[in-house]
């Protein structure tokens, strides 16, 4: 494929778990940035869609990464190789996701400052060549304050905080409504309160790998996740489907506003 021609202009890669959400985001970005497809053309995924669905609108890739770090890790390696071959420069990676909140209300977008693993430690541990390798998971992006400011225009809250990334949605996140659990409701609340007291605002399943990857490669990356439920109050989502659709879309709205602002600033720096 003529990769340079196809992807050499890329400036942003938006990644999120689900393919339909990423397709919707691509359509919303096209409309927000007034990117018109030639008459009669439809937005379509590029390449195969068995594992990931990738869309491109102007200088933005929108691609889904599935659930958990193993799935995300393959995507991040392959997208990064693709963009290197295409000679794309200064690309910003954005994870746009959903999460369970700690002490923050549904609809809030948490901007991750640092990712913690399920032991509440600030690193990702991987087995590489039969050895344990630990890598840092700080988000040292100068973009967080810019994004926080952009958040002021929205009716939902945008807050910086630490994010726990787990390998398991149920026991790993201290749920008591999975197929089994070997701890009590009190144990669960102690874990969640302990995490909150260390500055954790949300829990999801990809932040550690995403943050590590960006730090290790020097790629500028940010994680913005919508909160679906305040886990300090309940694990059950009691919102209506309309409310839930609104809550899960707040991070996409923030990402669109950020990309628009950033592109406008680049084309008119004064």
Cβ contacts of residue 186 below 8 Å, gap of 6+? none
Nearer Cβ to ligand R2B (10/254)? 254
Q: Which residue is nearest to ligand R2B (CB)?
A: 204
> Choosing among ligand R2B, ligand URA, none, which partner's interface includes residue 112 (Cβ < 5 to 8 Å by kind)?
none
CB-wise, 64 or 113, nearer to ligand R2B? 64
58 dihedral zone (left: phi>0; alpha: psi -120 to 50; beta): left
- How long, in residues, is the chain? 270
CB of residue 204 to ligand R2B, shortest distance in Å: 3
Q: Which does 189 bind (CB under 5 to 8 A by kind): ligand R2B, ligand URA, none?
A: none
Give which of ligand R2B, ligand URA, none residue 173 binds (C-beta under 5 to 8 Å, depending on kind). ligand URA
Binding site for ligand R2B (CB under 6 A): 17, 67, 97-99, 169, 204-206
How does strand 54-57 pair with strand 60-64? antiparallel
In the bound complex, what is the minimum distance in angstroms from residue 174's beta carbon to ligand R2B? 14
228 binds, options ligand R2B, ligand URA, none, Cβ within 5 to 8 A by partner type: ligand URA
Residue closer to ligand R2B (CB basis): 98 or 250: 98
Question: Residue 87, Cβ neighbours under 10 Å: how many?
Answer: 10
Residue 67 interaction partner, one of ligand URA, ligand R2B, none, beta carbon < 5-8 Å per kind:
ligand R2B
Coil, strand or helix: which one is 263? helix
Residue 149 backbone zone (phi > 0: left; psi -120 to 50: alpha; other: beta): alpha
CB of 45 to ligand URA, least distance (A): 24
Point out which residues bind ligand URA (CB under 6 A).
98-100, 169, 173, 203-205, 228
Report how far apart, in Å, the C-alpha atoms of 58 and of each of 108, 149, 153, 195, 198 are: 28, 25, 25, 40, 40
Output DSSP code: residue 138: B
Q: Terminus-to-terminus CA distance in the chain, angstroms? A: 38
């Amino acid at each position: 494929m003529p990769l340079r021609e196809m992807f050499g202009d890329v400036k942003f890669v938006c990644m999120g778990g689900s393919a339909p959400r990423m397709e919707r985001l691509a359509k919303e970005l096209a409309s927000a940035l007034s990117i018109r497809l030639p008459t009669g053309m439809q937005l379509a995924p590029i390449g195969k869609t068995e594992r990931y669905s990738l869309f491109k609108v102007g200088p933005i890739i929108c691609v889904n990464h599935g659930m958990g770090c193993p799935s995300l890790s393959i995507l991040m390696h392959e997208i990064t190789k693709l963009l290197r071959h295409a000679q794309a420069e200064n690309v910003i990676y954005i994870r746009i996701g959903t999460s369970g909140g700690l002490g923050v209300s549904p609809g809030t977008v948490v901007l991750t400052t640092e990712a913690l693993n399920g032991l509440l430690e600030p690193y990702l541990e991987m087995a590489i060549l039969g050895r344990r390798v630990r890598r840092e998971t700080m988000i040292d992006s100068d973009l967080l304050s810019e994004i926080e400011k952009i958040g002021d225009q929205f009716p939902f809250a945008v807050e910086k905080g630490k994010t726990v990334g787990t390998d398991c949605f149920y026991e790993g996140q201290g749920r008591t409504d999975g197929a089994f659990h070997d701890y009590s409701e009190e144990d669960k609340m102690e874990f969640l309160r302990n995490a909150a007291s260390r500055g954790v605002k949300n829990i999801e399943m990809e932040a550690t790998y995403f943050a590590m990857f960006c730090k290790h490669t020097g790629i500028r990356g940010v994680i913005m996740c919508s909160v679906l439920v305040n886990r300090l109050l309940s694990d059950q989502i009691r919102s209506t489907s309309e409310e839930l659709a609104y809550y899960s879309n707040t991070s996409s709205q923030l990402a669109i506003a950020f990309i628009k602002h950033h592109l406008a600033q680049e084309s008119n720096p004064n």
